Structure 1
Amino acid sequence: MLVESPSSRGLGVARGPDSRNERFRLVFRGEGASRWAQDTYRFHHAHLGEFDLFIVPIGAEDPRHGYYEAVFNRPSRLSPKETAHV
């Protein structure tokens, strides 16, 4: 199954109360009638290389495509000085 580029609509980064973490989600669209179950899969990306990603199918009404969501929670990339002002 080929997974197309993630949707960028509505993407934003939410910071936790301590401003040291950021949270965001990506929505992917898979081509073809086959569907993936909720699980961890190995992805290959031209610039990022190989990585494992936990994805969950989401209920989009489209018989030609499967839609999947990945949720990220990670330390903020802001410097400690920038974080103090968020």
Structure 2
Amino acid sequence: DGDEWDDGIDCDGPYLWRLMIAGPHQGAGVGRRVVEMVKQRLRRRGYATLYTSYGLGEGSPEGFYRRLGFVPTGGFFGDEVEVCTTL
């Protein structure tokens, strides 16, 4: 489950850390399906929000997360923009 994992990230709910999809599979809906499965599991466990973060610039997954309903919280994790979505 990873519930006991402490990576030093302090946020108000579950945090999706480093979702990576291999290049040949990007754009095929794999990442979207993974995030939807994670959201579904978290909803069943009673969570209301999912957090993640991303860097900006070339290759940024900003558009991907925005299409999935993630919005900036105004916070940062280091130099990464913190975003969240309701479950």
TM-score by length of 2: 0.35
Report which of the two has the higher share of strand: 1
Report which of the two has the higher share of helix: 2
Larger Rg computed on CA atoms:
1
